[in-house]
Chain A
Amino acid sequence: MFDLSGKTALVTGATGGLGNAIARALHRQGATVALSGTRREVLDALAAELGERTVVLPCNLASSEEVEALVPSAEEAFGPLDILVNNAGITRDGLFIRLKDEDWDTVIAVNLTSAFRLSRAAAKSMMRRRTGRIIGITSVVGVTGNAGQGNYAAAKAGMIGMSKALAKEVAARGVTVNCIAPGFIATPMTDVLNDKQKDAILGAVPANRLGTPEDIAAATVYLASDEAAYVTGQTLHVNGGMAMI
């Protein structure tokens, strides 16, 4: 089950906590993985650790030119792309009434617009071959909202709507488009929370623990697999029960 041998995958944000775990898991299942992110040395270190079947493709997702070049670069390196994981994401938190235009624009550009551009390029190639998996890493806050994250929640909710629209267009062509919505996961992004905040979060999680990047990686492997062929347009919530949707 869930064998990805012979498949190719592109993971954005592979330098981050979730991206790293997702890239490792896809690789472990046999996929050839293109690692993308902004920090070249972190990508190189991960590629060196994983060994064969890796490609390093640094990319600044805030740059439209670099985003447009990413899928073609991956396909040049390892042939047609089978699995795209739009994982990269940033936060620029702030109370809504004080949220700066710049922080809104940056979060939408990196978290949503880049996913749109990459999905467009990937879908074009996947449609022709009648096979493909596009997976967006969204967030529970895209569905539930979260104080201080108006920009982030908007981008993540946008990703869910976008994925559903694309899923309808390409479903008959063997391409599935799904989202994974992590709850609170122990990563550098959530490390910045103080203990009081973390306690408050745990109080809301029936599983009584933070999630791990591996919890998200396992969901990604499932959606990327041939076994998940009939699952499309869905959002898989991996959140220890903190929101049951």
Chain B
Amino acid sequence: MSDIADRVKKIVAEHLGVEADKVTENASFIDDLGADSLDTVELVMAFEEAFNCEIPDDAAETILTVGDAIKFLEKNAA
């Protein structure tokens, strides 16, 4: 597992207050991890901060699962 994947999962678990083992790559923030739409916005902001990159709104809308976030950040993280 990549370093980015580890960090993403850690951020998600902390932010949403869920057990680390529930944060799998297929887990959907809203359907599986109990996030509301504002939580997902906050998660995107947390990713931006942690990975020092900007996630445009149209890209943010496509980040629905933990795996989506990892894929995006592996491509775009600074």
Contacts and interface: CB of A to CB of B under 8 A. Distances in A.
Interface of A: 124, 127-128, 169-170, 173
A127 B42 CA distance: 8
Nearest to B38: A169
8 contacts: A124-B45, A127-B38, A127-B42, A128-B42, A128-B45, A169-B38, A170-B38, A173-B38
Closest 8 CB pairs of A and B: A169-B38, A127-B42, A128-B45, A128-B42, A124-B45, A127-B38, A173-B38, A170-B38
B41 to A, nearest CB: 8
A169 B40 CA distance: 13
A235 B13 CA distance: 37
Contacts, number: 8
Contacts of B42: 127-128
Given A127-B42, A170-B38, 6 more contacts: A124-B45, A127-B38, A128-B42, A128-B45, A169-B38, A173-B38
A170 B36 CA distance: 12
Contacts of B45: 124, 128
Interface of B: 38, 42, 45
A181 B72 CA distance: 46
A175 B42 CA distance: 14
A79 to B, nearest CB: 16
A99 to B, nearest CB: 35
A192 B59 CA distance: 52
A182 to B, nearest CB: 31
Contacts of A170: 38
B47 to A, nearest CB: 13
Contacts of A173: 38
A129 to B, nearest CB: 11
Nearest to A125: B45
A127 B37 CA distance: 13
A170 B37 CA distance: 12
Contacts of A128: 42, 45
A127 B45 CA distance: 11
A119 B8 CA distance: 29
Contacts of B38: 127, 169-170, 173
Contacts of A127: 38, 42
A170 B38 CA distance: 8
B62 to A, nearest CB: 20
A124 B45 CA distance: 9
A173 B38 CA distance: 10
B76 to A, nearest CB: 21
A181 B23 CA distance: 47
B50 to A, nearest CB: 13
A212 to B, nearest CB: 39
Nearest to B36: A172
A173 B45 CA distance: 15
B12 to A, nearest CB: 16
A217 to B, nearest CB: 32
A20 B22 CA distance: 52
